[in-house]
Amino acid sequence: MEQLPKNRKLHILLCLLLLLAGSISSSGYADAVSGSACTMAQEPEQLQKEEKDTPQSIPADSPLKAAAARRSKRNKGLTLSQLIRKYPETLLTQGPRTRMIALTFDDVPDPRFTPQLLDVLRKYQVKATFFVVGSRAERHPELIARIIREGHVIGNHSYNHPEFGKLGMNEFRTQIIRTENILSALAGYKPKLIRPPYGDISEPQLKWAKAHGYKLVNWNVDSLDWRGLSKAQVRNNIVAHAGKGAIILQHGGGGKGSNLQGTIQALPEVITIMRKRGYTFVTVPHMLQVSKNK
């Protein structure tokens, strides 16, 4: 190259430099710069996508999911078994573990069935607890008078048998207080005992009942007599499960077309069998050692 003209040498050097620069740009450096630029250009779009997708892909152990589960539980409310554990002195399903049994009859008074049950109880000298529907008491005050006269205890079973858990607080209070006033006029006292229809109640309703001096009484032995079962079926449902401190659910009233003859016919045998086993029949207030009135 030393023998080449000076201008020619400069031209060749310039070409070599251009070729070298082209080689570098087509390799790592150009790729690195290009890649970096692409990354920076795509970064905002990717962040937007990730932010958009985040709520749909929270890990299973995320605190957000745990908090959401707790909120859902609070909104849904405690189950009945959880309420029983949380309020054991207010919501009861059985008595002390002694050889006592409480017979309870819901949905009274009903002229088709209640008088026949009262006849059996009187014959066998058994006192029971009747949970009264207020609207029925208004229509059949003479049956409430007979229940009281024959030494039984009454409790509040709402005015027209709604599911309490579906009622607001004002509606719930109306159901209790309206029935309470009817029973106070007919029986001479305001019952301390409440049995929620279907055994259903919410925690706010339970708190209100507790604050106002009520006891809520469900059951731990279900005769299933509302299904229109036979005498043998009702009897077996009771005697197979009744034990110390049992509170037995039966019905002394029903809806249109109800058949409670199985309960009426089974009652003498239930009383006889359980007495032979050494049990005494008592009212719910007697079993729980609480007053029948507020």
CA 236 to chain centre: 28
Compute how many other C-beta atoms are within 10 angstroms of the C-beta atom of residue 274: 21
Catalytic residue among 140, 152, 161, 251: 251
Dist. CA 266–CA 234, nearest whole Å = 6
Number of alpha carbons in the 13 Å side-chain half-sphere of residue 66 = 3
Q: Which amino acid is at 235?
A: R
Contact 125, 150 (CB under 8 A): no
Helix, strand or coil for residue 93? coil
Task: Give catalytic status of residue 251 as yes or no.
Answer: yes
Structure tokens that stand for 292 in this block? 């029948």
Q: Which residue has the tokens 């008595």?
A: 95
Dist. CA 1–CA 69, nearest whole Å = 83
Dist. CA 115–CA 112, nearest whole Å = 7
Q: Which residue has the tokens 């026949």?
A: 116
Helix, strand or coil for residue 247? strand
Catalytic residue among 106, 107, 110, 225: 106
> Which are the catalytic amino acids?
106, 251
